[in-house]
Structure 1
Amino acid sequence: MATSYINGKYLPLSRSKISITDRGFQFSDGIYEVIGVRDKKLIDIDLHLKRLKRSLKQISIKLPISLDQILKISKKIQKKDNLVNGIIYIQITRGNQIPRDHKYLSGLKPNIVIYSIFKDLKKNDLLAKKGVKVITYPDIRWLRSDIKSISLLANVMAANKAKDKKCHEAILFDSKNNITEGNSSTIWVIKGKKCITHPLSYRILNGCTRMKLIKIIKNNNLIFEERVFTKDFLMKADEVFMTNATNFIMPIVKIDEKKIQNGKSGIKSIMLRKLYIEAI
């Protein structure tokens, strides 16, 4: 059974509880991180914790414990649950507040929740060989996508539209038909030797897999480029892939009704996935 940590206590996940006055429950007033675990290793954990700290600062939540303590708790849960492959989920909200009010009180004690999720991430190795299908979907999220907020309703809507179409992900586009990112991923295009993705901005989450992949690209005779690109440019790419904490690098072979790379996983995408996994 999965273990959870809530505000200093370790409990079975089935017995874990948070007050209904929690501002995360009432207002989505909180931040989260998802850390992949492969062969018992917590992937890119330092990058995730730095991003957690940044997001909390952006919404003025003061972390009540250190990042080192969060790391120790995460490792303890991984070891306690013997989590070989899966996820460590971290969520920090502003805390409980009575009475309910949009304006938060000073001095609230943040709620810290950390728990494990068993998931066979190695299944994605086989999936990557054949690639995945995705859809395109309007980007209707709030305008601070750089903050890893627990408010994910627009992402949920996009993800479930993709699910209805039997697709793996939804690629989001803005009012000018420019690609922003996926409903839970960074989107990349390969043109020749160039690996292209959207520049960092308030509309884009700085993905931890993205950060690590940039170094891999630069060290392997490929060119990293940040630029805004359209749906039309996306459809004409040599290769397309997505990145996130659980998919790593996942080749995309069909977007809506358009096949990419003749419907086969691209050679460079597969190579980058292999290099990323070797770097874990």
Structure 2
Amino acid sequence: MSSWVWLNEDYCPADQAWVSVFDRGFLFADGVYEVTAVVNGELLDFHAHMQRLQRSCRALELAFPWAVETLQQIHETLVARNQLHEGSVYLQITRGNPGKRDFHYPDVSVPPTLVVFTQSHNILQDARVERGLSVVTCPDIRWQRCDIKTVSLLAASMAKMAAQAQGADDAVFVTDGLITEASSANCFMVTPGGKLVTRALSQAILPGITRAAILEICQQHHLEIETRAFSPQEACGAREVFITSATTFVMPVTRLDGNLIGDGRPGPVAISLRNAYLSRFGAGLQRDANTFE
């Protein structure tokens, strides 16, 4: 974890970074967040994350009084101060501390709370890429604005714990018999005919930054893309399934509810897309697969 944290107006030691119990992030989960990956000490897709952060704030009528350049400087300074080579930077904005608990939004004079910290973890050489994830399905009990990246993550935590209890790595949410997304990632599949399928953007899923980058890469390589929902049953019959997120990049799924996906090994499309995404930032390749066929 961070040795140094940004809290509101300055850097401070992590053990001195305290937020009031009256902060609406604590009392109402009234806040948004972003996680930016760091590889070789460099921020990945930072400006895209900031664009989504601003969108989330607008959706919640949450003040955003900072220049993106200021936030970038804070991120880069924390990466340097904490000597972060590989991992992530977490940013959270809440509606602040009005000094009381009240369902109504406080007056605009109450400043928002800004917290930024870093975490060091291995995201390039992830052993799960070599074996693929085992995932299970679970009902999607989240609120109906999943397109806003709020700090209300209890349903996602419950899904991950349910998966762990079943000996799986992660969970995918299902509504009306169709997969929405994973507990903290977007979902893709490759059909037996080689078409790439992912759910269209809506209030049911988060507009993933990595998802958008992967779709751009697919277009550059002339992969056929279809944006629609698909069922767990269709996913079980797919050639490949994978998920995308800021810190897992592209992660193959090789087992769904106990059923093998394809031949039960990470597929070439997922590995190639992961390599293509990382090559944008000069990062090392995972395995030697580099084909979209």
> Displacement of 1:262 after TM fit?
1.8
Rounded to whole Å, the distance in 1 between the matches of 2:131 and 2:153 is 29
Q: Which amino acid aligns with 2:195?
A: K
Match of 1:115 in 2: 117
Q: Matches of residues 98-113 of structure 1 in structure 2 within 5 Å? A: 98-107=99-108, 108-113=110-115
Match of 1:81 in 2: 82
Deviations 1:104-145 (A, max 9, x none): 122221000000011111232x32122111111110000000
Rounded to whole Å, the distance in 2 between the matches of 1:9 and 1:166 is 43
Rounded to whole Å, the distance in 2 between the matches of 1:207 and 1:105 is 30
Rounded to whole Å, the distance in 1 between the matches of 2:64 and 2:167 is 40
> Displacement of 1:195 after TM fit?
1.2
Alpha-carbon contact 1:90-1:112 (below 8 Å) kept: yes
Deviations 1:40-62 (A, max 9, x none): 11111111000000000000011
Q: Matches of residues 121-140 of structure 1 in structure 2 within 5 Å? A: 121-124=123-126, 126-140=127-141
> Displacement of 1:257 after TM fit?
1.1
| Structure 2 SS opposite 1:144 | coil
Q: Which amino acid aligns with 1:123?
A: Q
Alpha-carbon contact 1:2-1:117 (below 8 Å) kept: no
| Structure 2 SS opposite 1:250 | strand
Rounded to whole Å, the distance in 1 between the matches of 2:254 and 2:25 is 37
| Structure 2 SS opposite 1:90 | strand
Rounded to whole Å, the distance in 2 between the matches of 1:47 and 1:199 is 19
Match of 2:153 in 1: 152
Q: Which amino acid aligns with 1:179?
A: I
RMSD of Structure 2 on Structure 1 (CA): 1.1
Deviates more, 1:86-95 or 1:2-11: 2-11
Segments ≥4 residues shifted beyond 2 Å: none
Match of 1:189 in 2: 189
> Displacement of 1:6 after TM fit?
0.3
Rounded to whole Å, the distance in 1 between the matches of 2:275 and 2:81 is 29
Alpha-carbon contact 1:146-1:203 (below 8 Å) kept: yes
Rounded to whole Å, the distance in 2 between the matches of 1:2 and 1:245 is 22
| Structure 2 SS opposite 1:261 | coil
Q: Which amino acid aligns with 1:25?
A: F
Alpha-carbon contact 1:34-1:245 (below 8 Å) kept: yes
Structure 1 portions without partners, runs of 5+: none
Alpha-carbon contact 2:237-2:262 (below 8 Å) kept: no
Question: Matched residue pairs, number?
Answer: 278
Q: Which amino acid aligns with 2:84?
A: L
| Structure 2 SS opposite 1:117 | strand
> Displacement of 1:242 after TM fit?
0.4
| Structure 2 SS opposite 1:251 | strand
Alpha-carbon contact 1:20-1:26 (below 8 Å) kept: yes
> Displacement of 1:167 after TM fit?
1.9
Q: Which amino acid aligns with 2:185?
A: S
Match of 1:29 in 2: 30
Alpha-carbon contact 2:23-2:99 (below 8 Å) kept: no
| Structure 2 SS opposite 1:24 | helix
Match of 2:284 in 1: none
Match of 1:180 in 2: 180
Match of 1:230 in 2: 231
Percent identity (aligned):
34
> Displacement of 1:261 after TM fit?
1.6
Rounded to whole Å, the distance in 2 between the matches of 1:104 and 1:51 is 22
Rounded to whole Å, the distance in 2 between the matches of 1:184 and 1:247 is 10
Structure 1 pair 253–153 and aligned structure 2 pair: CA distance change class (3 A): same
**TM-score, scaled to structure 2:** 0.92
Alpha-carbon contact 2:31-2:93 (below 8 Å) kept: yes
**TM-score, scaled to structure 1:** 0.97
> Displacement of 1:254 after TM fit?
0.4
Structure 2 portions without partners, runs of 5+: 282-293
